[in-house]
Amino acid sequence: MTIGEVDPDPAPETPPVPVLADRAAACADRLAAADEVLLASHIDADGLTSAAVASTALRRAGIPFQTTFFDQLDEASVAKVADTDYDTVWFTDFGSGQLDAISAAEREGAFTPVIADHHQPADAETEYHLNPLLFGLDGASELSGAGAAYTIARELESVDAPLADGGTASVETVAATAPTTDEAAVSTADAPPTAGPRPPDNRDLAALAIVGAVGDMQDSDGGLAGANRRIVAEGVAAGALTEQTDIALYGRQSRPLPKLLEYASDVQIPGISNDPSGAVSFLEETGIDLRTDGEWRRWVDLDGEERETVASALLRRAVDSGVPATQVNQLIGTTYVLADEAPGTQLRDVSEFSTLLNATARYDRADVGLAVCLGDRDAALDRARTLLRTHRRNLSEGVELIQSEGTQRGESLQWFDANSRIRETIVGIVAGMAVGAEGIPRSVPILAFADKTAEKVKVSARGTHRLVRQGLDLSVVMSEAAAAVDGEGGGHDVAAGATIPADGKEAFLARADELVGEQLCEG
């Protein structure tokens, strides 16, 4: 196993995604011209990192702003935004899919939108709309919401910062509460401004942009690709990120060695995966020291030689037990490390960082996740870790529930109705994790329903890249099937969601089944 790094980009003045540069510059100019900006972002790991990238860039540029989060941008939340006094609203990690509602508000003079998103745009237009899909890039795999925000952040560098370095501290840096309920108005709350001098450029924010991309699962098939690779290169050049070839198991930084192997679920290795004593005896056979002062060591505690010993033994074991070569190859992959974070913490590894953020966002604590992104390593980080423990328990209980009950089969899809037994904010993650287990085939997409309110149901849909290659586009399925029952939906081809009236479930399901059937038949 060798450790390799990407070539550092020698030219910080080169835009990270050249094809987006003009649009990013126009967006930055519009933001710089605003008296005060309302920053509205999505509640998930990509949305939180988007908000962190955007708010740090605004603060450094001396542009006053407030931040707010929505778990879903719909007509009601756009109306709430329109009711505020802000004349400029920067939407990150959402906005494109709701462009019809947003551009209608713009035409009425409510606000000027600036959008940094990567979801499928609705059929409407606005001037300051930055989305990779508008420029021939793949929004599902090449650039995330945080990456889109990053391209604008790089253009905001050239904006003067009269207040930020003026010492008067009159710039109000504001983090958000989490107005996720339907009743909540746009609300914002004070947060301590992040200290420190303004760096020479915003390339350090590439690290957060990559956490967002990985949080949106853009690193499948051997690391990040496309526009994301340029952002990685900028992060490496700025010293914020390192790229390594390493064992591709979740938890390299924080999990005890036996758990690292036991919990690894992407590639099933007989006698190790889901086998606590098997994982321990496998490690004992490698002959490396497994404990320090009685405590299990973690992957990050091993030196290069020890890592190589364990990785080679693991590959050998996989091959010997008949794991297909394509899967064996997946055990080693490209990993990304946040160079400034302490080794052995979740923040050091982009995958673990993004999971930590999801654990805050999905439990109405976007403020905690944002504070961690902005540098809080005390109370907010403690709180985030507690939330993560709860999140893990809920995920494994949710997966167990789906596995024990199995899915219902339609013609072209499978579905599971969790009612209130799985939180609607994590039902999509749970459905994705459950796919591939016994009785839950990968050959058709899965739809999972969970109650949102008494009247509304959340639907999360997950497919596979193979199904997408066969023609599946869940973004279209969710938006069209939702429209058929007066709901709203959208997202990506491989993962999408909708909110529908509770009494529209059956009609929604029938329409979705039909649409998936048509897509897979034509594709």
Question: Which of 283, 328, 329 has its CA nearest to residue 306?
Answer: 283
Find the part of the chain contacting Mn ion (CB under 5 A) among 40-48, 277-285, 488-496, 506-514: 40-48
Interacting positions 444-473 with Mn ion (CB under 5 A):
none
Cα 108–89–230 angle (5° rounding)?
A: 130
> How far apart are the C-alpha atoms of 133 and 121, rounded to whole Å?
8
Contact 96, 122 (CB under 8 A): yes
Least distance (Å) between residue 146 CB and Mn ion? 7
Least distance (Å) between residue 118 CB and Mn ion? 6
Does the protein bind Mn ion through residue 490 (CB under 5 A)?
no
Least distance (Å) between residue 213 CB and Mn ion? 8
How many residues can be counted in the chain? Answer: 523
Q: Closer to Mn ion by CB, 61 or 208: give it.
A: 208
Q: Closer to Mn ion by CB, 56 or 412: give it.
A: 56
List, in order, residues 6 or more apart from 86 with CB less than 8 Å away.
Answer: 36, 37, 38, 66, 111
- Beta strands (DSSP E) in 220-341 are 241-247, 291-292, 295-296, 332-338
> How far apart are the C-alpha atoms of 523 and 518, rounded to whole Å?
8
Question: Which of 204, 203, 172, 214 has its CA nearest to residue 190?
Answer: 172
> How far apart are the C-alpha atoms of 138 and 129, rounded to whole Å?
16
Least distance (Å) between residue 41 CB and Mn ion? 10
Q: Closer to Mn ion by CB, 48 or 236: give it.
A: 48
Least distance (Å) between residue 7 CB and Mn ion? 27
Residue at 68: amino acid letter: T
Which residue in 95, 97, 145, 398 binds Mn ion (CB under 5 A)? 145
Does the protein bind Mn ion through residue 71 (CB under 5 A)?
no
Can you tell me which residue has the tokens 């149901």? 457
Least distance (Å) between residue 91 CB and Mn ion? 12
DSSP-based three-state secondary structure for 76: helix
Least distance (Å) between residue 49 CB and Mn ion? 9
Least distance (Å) between residue 20 CB and Mn ion? 16
Q: Closer to Mn ion by CB, 359 or 520: give it.
A: 359
Show the tokens assigned to 355: 């999971």
> How far apart are the C-alpha atoms of 465 and 395, rounded to whole Å?
23
Does the protein bind Mn ion through residue 262 (CB under 5 A)?
no
- The conformational region for residue 375 under phi > 0 = left, psi -120 to 50 = alpha, else beta, is left
Which residue in 46, 352, 367, 493 binds Mn ion (CB under 5 A)? 46
Cα separation values, 55 from 13, 175, 390, Å: 21, 9, 28
> How far apart are the C-alpha atoms of 316 and 282, rounded to whole Å?
11
Q: Closer to Mn ion by CB, 144 or 188: give it.
A: 144
Question: Which of 126, 111, 35, 48 has its CA nearest to residue 79?
Answer: 111
Q: Closer to Mn ion by CB, 62 or 145: give it.
A: 145
Least distance (Å) between residue 77 CB and Mn ion? 17
Does the protein bind Mn ion through residue 488 (CB under 5 A)?
no
Q: Closer to Mn ion by CB, 474 or 520: give it.
A: 474
Does the protein bind Mn ion through residue 349 (CB under 5 A)?
no
Judged by CB under 5 A, the number of residues near Mn ion is: 5
Find the part of the chain contacting Mn ion (CB under 5 A) among 42-50, 299-307, 314-322, 448-456: 42-50
String of contacts with Mn ion for each residue 79-98, x by CB under 5 A:
--------------x-----
Nearest position to Mn ion, beta carbon: 46
- Beta strands (DSSP E) in 239-344 are 241-247, 291-292, 295-296, 332-338
Find the part of the chain contacting Mn ion (CB under 5 A) among 145-153, 332-340, 362-370, 371-379: 145-153
Which residue in 216, 234, 243, 488 binds Mn ion (CB under 5 A)? 216
Q: Which residues bind Mn ion (CB under 5 A)?
A: 46, 93, 144-145, 216
